Amino acid sequence: MTLMAIVAVIFGLLLLGLVGWLLVQNAQEQKKNAALETQMNELRRDLLTLSTTQAQSSTKIETLAGTVADRLEAVTTALKDGVKDSAEVTSKLTAESQAAMSQELKNTREQINQIQQQLGQVQQAGQQMFETTRTLENILGGAKSRGSLGEITLERLLEDSLPQAQYAKQYRFRSGEAADAVIFLLDNKKLAIDSKFPLDAYRRLSAEGEEARRAFVSAIKLHADSIAKKYIVPDEGTLDVALMFVPSETVFYELLMSVDGKGQPVDEYCRGRSIFPVSPNTLHANLRVIAMGLRGMQIEENAKHLAANLNGLRKQLDTFADFFDKIGTHLKNAQASYAEADKRFGKASNTLDNLVSSSESGQPGIEDAQRALALPPAAAKGGV
């Protein structure tokens, strides 16, 4: 009985649970059905709204289509008118372009004629220049002419850069060699300048090309050795360097670009011999620097003289101050003596007045005056 009751109770509980579950499921289904019904109602409203909007859109589309048709018709008419006007404008522009082209062709022919005339003049000028060049080469053919040209160019540069007292032309050393120019520096130092250059070797270099480069390099090296031997004479006050003036920028450029058979640049070889090649431009710059240095050294020398003069003036002022102090002392003593003399003069004047008054009144006054004018004991002894 007990087991049967337990089974009956469990069965009853299961039945109750099943009924509850069914009720819950039924309630959920009802909720889902209500939600579906709500969604269906919203969908119906959306479909109604969409149908209304579609009807309105159809009306707008029809209106827009009419407007577009009208505009297309207006554009078609405007295009027809534009094509007509374009044809007229095109014909007009074509006529104007043909006239302008004809004028330009005429101007071009005239310019071509002018250019041909100018080319003829240029050819004539080139021929004259060629003849002038040949004449110049003939003039510069000799070493003496080359030296004269270099000396003239060097002289002009020196005149433009330095005072005449700072340099000398054709300066002769005790050996008998004469430098083309010498610049006088501070402490009686001299800087020698040689103005000769190997134009013959350069002319062969220009005519024969690189085959004559070796002869050009050899000529420059020999010239540098000659300058170092002749014009660097420390015993006669020269600097340990000298300048090799090349009066042509073209030759100077070739010098800088040349190397000997060992691959050593020619200018480096010259510097090794204490010879510095200079062109007209570089020499002018060097002379400017030298002129500035000379002016600076002159200013320094003047400053030294001024300092010496100021020191002398200082000594004179000190001497004057001593004399001035002595004069002041004498003046103070004189002032004291004057004050003492003035005091005694006042006393003597008063005594004299007393004497004059007593001479009118009688003898006692004279005695009193004599006592007042009594000499000091030392003076009295001297009198005795």
Kindly write down the DSSP assignment for every residue of 138-187, as one continuous string: HHTTSHHHHHHHHHHHHHHHHHHHS-GGGEEEEEEPTTS-EEEEEEE-GG
pLDDT band at 140 (very low <50, low <70, confident <90, very high): very low
Q: Kindly tell me if the per-residue pLDDT of 358 is higher than 70.
A: yes
Place of tokens 């004279």: 366
Q: What is the mean pLDDT of residues 245-253?
A: 85
Q: CB-based contacts of 173: which residues, under 8 Å, 6+ apart?
A: 179, 230, 231, 233, 236
E strand or H helix at 276:
strand 275-278
Query: % helix / strand / coil in the chain, to the nearest 5?
Result: 80, 10, 10
Out of 108-112, 199-203, 371-375, give the one with best mean pLDDT.
108-112
- Least confident stretch, 265-274, 275-284, 358-367: 358-367
Distance CA 155, CA 164 (A): 11
Q: Which position has the token pair 């003046």?
A: 331
Burial of 197 by CB count in 10 Å (0-12 exposed, 13-18 middle, 19+ buried)?
Answer: buried
Lowest mean pLDDT among 56-70, 208-222, 223-237, 281-295: 56-70
Residue pLDDT, tens place only, 187-221 = 888 999 988 776 677 777 777 777 778 888 888 88
Instruction: Judge whether 269 and 219 are in contact, CB under 8 Å.
Output: no
**Model pLDDT for residues 305-343, shown as the tens digit of each residue:** 888 888 888 888 888 888 888 888 888 888 888 888 888
- Token pair 């009720």 is found at 23
**Minimum mean pLDDT range among 20-34, 112-126, 136-150, 289-303:** 136-150
